[in-house]
Structure 1
Amino acid sequence: VVYFGDKVILEEPIESWPVCDCLIAFHSSGYPLEKAEAYSALRKPFLVNELEPQHLLHDRRKVYERLEKFEIPVPRYALVNREVPYQQLDYFIEEEDFVEVHGMRFWKPFVEKPIDGDNHSIMIYYPSSAGGGMKELFRKVGNRSSEFHPEVRRVRREGSYIYEEFMPTGGTDVKVYTVGPEYAHAEARKSPVVDGVVMRNPDGKEVRYPVLLTPAEKEMAREVCIAFRQAVCGFDLLRCEGRSYVCDVNGWSFVKNSHKYYDDTACVLRKMFLDAKAPHLSSAIPPTLPWKVNEPVQPSEGLTRQGSGIIGTFGQSEELRCVIAVIRHGDRTPKQKVKLKVTEEKLLNLMLKYNGGRPRAETKLKSAVQLQDLLDATRMLVPRTRPDRESDSEAEVEHAEKLRQVKAVLEEVFNFLNFDMMMSL
């Protein structure tokens, strides 16, 4: 493996770049993609991710066009193109609870995305019936990934945007990672739409859960890989009402925390390189992915497969990963609690006696002596006769009944204490 380094890439001419058989090159901020294209044309290495299609990934309009060309499902959307900021457009209408673009109406909540693929400031606008406002989604900053702005009601007008239907996904986003058209790994995370708080594990990394892709989603992963000619590729999947949609393609992306994924990726890339440059070696080396067709799967390996899988061999590669059950006990005992306000001097004096004479402080009576004092005071306050419902007020009747309940419970407690003392003796 030859690492070119920033000095070589940025400062030296392509003729002095190292000669290699296979090239891994992908665009990031400040990366000279055109220079890498010129090197590729000169040396003709095998490209893991082809360079020319990477220009598409910087424009969400072109990404959606390419997805539709390959019949990959995307959310319903419309484009608003402005040549200058705040340009008035005759095909764009905004009302309190919807926008209309070229006759396509999008009711709130809807999503607003900049056409610039590197701009991650995405807005969701909410209807007036839900209080209105806007939620801004952005790349993680500390433990935040979104912010709600209740005062914002109007959409942005300083640039060009994609408007698309909001897809309710149950609070999760699915990230899919391909390594060639026959391998995909998927993970779910809490959507930033929920509350904007990033869930992190004890190591400070975002919590993600491996998920299984359906056969249709595996085919979508294969098509995304082929459509953009990016072997190592990541994209976002929305699962809504039994269907799946691709809403963003990120190009070169890797899973963050899965040793199994990296082992698999190494195997896939090795075979890819050998097939391209040394097929005689490739045919002599057996595949090492443990669940390839006609290859036995070891039970211990089956426990570590973290959501990855070969695409196109559904019948023989499917396996049960886990069974999740949510169970609630039906016989929950209600709390046996009595609350009553007291003004009787005997009870107030008892409170002061056991809390150091501090008024309005909390007092907890737990010892046998304290409970005996409370029982004695309660016995003196309980009326000797049942209250007269005709002459006494409803509040007086209720208060007397609660005092009787307190007395009865305390007497039961002391019957138990006495029995316990007899057993001890």
Structure 2
Amino acid sequence: MSALHKLAAVKNGPEASWDDNHMKLLARMNDEEIEILQLPSPKYSAKNISTELCRIPVQKDHIMSSPWRLGICAMEDKALSKANQEIFRRLHVDGLIEVVLFGDKTLLSKRPEEWPICDFLIAFYSDGFPLEKAISYTKLRSPLCYNDLLMQGLLFDRRLCNRVLDYLGVRTPKRLEVNRDGGPRAYDWGLVQHVYDRMGLGIPGPREREATYERFHPPRVSLSEDGNTLLVDGRTLHKPFVEKPVSAEDHNIYIYFPTTPQGAGGGRRLFRKVGNKCSEYDPDLIIPRCITEQGTTSSYVYEPLLNADNGEDVKAYAVGPQYCFAVTRKSPAVTGVVLRDASGKEVRLPTEVSKEEADAAAKISTGFGQSVCGFDIVRNKGKSYVIDVNGWTSVKNQPRFYAQCADILQQMLMSHVAKQIAKN
């Protein structure tokens, strides 16, 4: 029986349990000298961005034999979340695919040379994740990567992320940037080259700090006399608008409302959920931080506040270029109260994905090189706007998504294995 037919037969049997035997923390490798390969980045045509698994090319044929090891390279609080476990346990197939969790101790305390050797790798950033070590590991071991680790570096800066979305032709809100940090830049030249090789997009590279600020002139920023319009180097944005820190890790997002005969102005502070709260209204939130923090290097992105249809945001989840799942939730810009069901779970309801949203999902997954990638949408007057890209995320309490996601990830793995077998 071929590997592909064997996989199909196993999948039709009882569901595999992802217990301690399947979720292995491998012991330390034998102590031996390992030469770290200095390998070039993969190259893709700007007009034909690769949709296959990311692979750093090796200098000799890489012949795999089953069981194939699929490494989960992520912080334990994310890898062991209920939603991700639902996906990862479905990927395990006895005798065919072995799922291996690296674990925090391995990621943080051991050198990449000591990490488990895997044929395939799911790796994604969260707070505390050693991204540089993970990139070194992929260069050393050359696994087939479900997530392009270098491209994840673009997600740290909202400005760089927006530039990629613009280049991909994904609809985003109009925006103003207040840059006092020298402007958006890749953290190293390797990322600059990788982005250009992958998709033909040029992004600014790092500079010496002194050279950056010697040539950089901070923007002229002011607020109109009535306090309702932000002016940045002669460009204007009227309230209500959204203020986002340029760091995607900073979730302190503010909304500013206009003062009118019908409205008292003020603003709303958005933040990560605390109990049943996700935002709060502040009547004194009038002057944007780009004005109150002048003289600092604080930088912000400003966008018009789009009134979400039905007062709902859309959380979308792309799995490769062919599948997108989405749920709605009550927008934190509306009341700031998390809507929960009788069992205490946040209410998130599946929603149909429009053609425009499906196209955006395909572009985001392919362009950023992330086989699984979450992103946020605001639907406004029949149009959909992408307002954030999150990298690997998994929706809670949605078995249909877990099954579809695992099935597609398995298909990607087996498709590559079949090609390798055909070559040899």
TM score, norm. by length of structure 2:
0.64
User: Which residue of structure 2 lines up, in the alignment, with residue 176 of structure 1?
Assistant: 316
User: Which residue of structure 1 lines up, in the alignment, with residue 248 of structure 2?
Assistant: 117
Report the residue type matching 1:179 in the other structure. Answer: V
How many Å separate the matches in 2 of 1:53 and 1:94?
Answer: 36
User: Which residue of structure 2 lines up, in the alignment, with residue 137 of structure 1?
Assistant: 270
Q: Equivalent of 1:252, from 379, 392, 395?
A: 392
Aligned partner of residue 154 in structure 1, secondary structure: coil
User: Which residue of structure 2 lines up, in the alignment, with residue 161 of structure 1?
Assistant: 300
How many Å separate the matches in 1 of 2:284 and 2:305?
Answer: 20
User: Which residue of structure 1 lines up, in the alignment, with residue 228 of structure 2?
Assistant: 97
Residues paired across the two proteins, number: 280
Q: Relative to 1, partners in 2 of residues 1:265 and 1:281: Cα closer, same or farther, differing over 3 Å?
A: farther
How many Å separate the matches in 2 of 1:190 and 1:211?
Answer: 13
How many Å separate the matches in 2 of 1:233 and 1:160?
Answer: 26
Please tell me whether residue 35 in structure 1 is matched to residue 133 in structure 2.
Answer: yes
How many Å separate the matches in 1 of 2:219 and 2:385?
Answer: 30
Please tell me whether residue 46 in structure 1 is matched to residue 185 in structure 2.
Answer: no
Please tell me whether residue 21 in structure 1 is matched to residue 161 in structure 2.
Answer: no
How many Å separate the matches in 1 of 2:228 and 2:172?
Answer: 23
Q: Equivalent of 1:72, from 164, 170, 175?
A: 170
Matches within 5 A, 1:268-417: 268-279=408-419
- What are the superposed Cα offsets for residues 355-382 of structure 1, whole Å, 9 maximum, x if unpaired? xxxxxxxxxxxxxxxxxxxxxxxxxxxx
How many Å separate the matches in 2 of 1:243 and 1:154?
Answer: 30
Report the residue type matching 1:144 in the other structure. Answer: K
Q: Is the 8 A contact 2:219 2:232 kept in 1?
A: no
- What are the superposed Cα offsets for residues 247-301 of structure 1, whole Å, 9 maximum, x if unpaired? 100001001111111111111010111122344789xxxxxxxxxxxxxxxxxxx
1:104 to partner: Cα distance: 2.3
Please tell me whether residue 201 in structure 1 is matched to residue 341 in structure 2.
Answer: yes
1:16 to partner: Cα distance: 1.6
Unpaired runs of at least 5, structure 1: 283-425
Q: Is the 8 A contact 2:179 2:219 kept in 1?
A: no
Q: Is the 8 A contact 2:278 2:336 kept in 1?
A: yes
User: Which residue of structure 2 lines up, in the alignment, with residue 236 of structure 1?
Assistant: 376
Aligned partner of residue 128 in structure 1, secondary structure: coil
User: Which residue of structure 1 lines up, in the alignment, with residue 49 of structure 2?
Assistant: none
TM score, norm. by length of structure 1:
0.64
Q: Equivalent of 1:107, from 206, 220, 238?
A: 238
- What are the superposed Cα offsets for residues 139-178 of structure 1, whole Å, 9 maximum, x if unpaired? 1110000000001210113311001111111310001001
Q: Is the 8 A contact 1:21 1:277 kept in 2?
A: no
Q: Is the 8 A contact 2:326 2:350 kept in 1?
A: yes
Aligned partner of residue 23 in structure 1, secondary structure: strand
1:30 to partner: Cα distance: 0.9
Q: Which structure would you say has the larger Rg?
A: 1
Q: Relative to 1, partners in 2 of residues 1:37 and 1:236: Cα closer, same or farther, differing over 3 Å?
A: same
- Structure 1 segments of 4+ aligned residues over 6 angstroms from their partners: none
1:88 to partner: Cα distance: 9.5
Which structure is higher in RCO with an 8 Å CA cutoff and minimum separation 6? 2
1:132 to partner: Cα distance: 1.1
Aligned partner of residue 276 in structure 1, secondary structure: helix
How many Å separate the matches in 2 of 1:83 and 1:180?
Answer: 35
Report the residue type matching 1:151 in the other structure. Answer: D
Q: Is the 8 A contact 1:48 1:231 kept in 2?
A: yes
Unpaired runs of at least 5, structure 2: 1-98, 183-215
Q: Equivalent of 2:281, from 148, 165, 176?
A: 148
Report the residue type matching 1:208 in the other structure. Answer: R
Q: Is the 8 A contact 2:180 2:219 kept in 1?
A: no
How many Å separate the matches in 1 of 2:252 and 2:421?
Answer: 48
> What fraction of aligned residue pairs are identical, expressed as a percent?
44
How many Å separate the matches in 2 of 1:14 and 1:93?
Answer: 49
How many Å separate the matches in 1 of 2:218 and 2:340?
Answer: 44
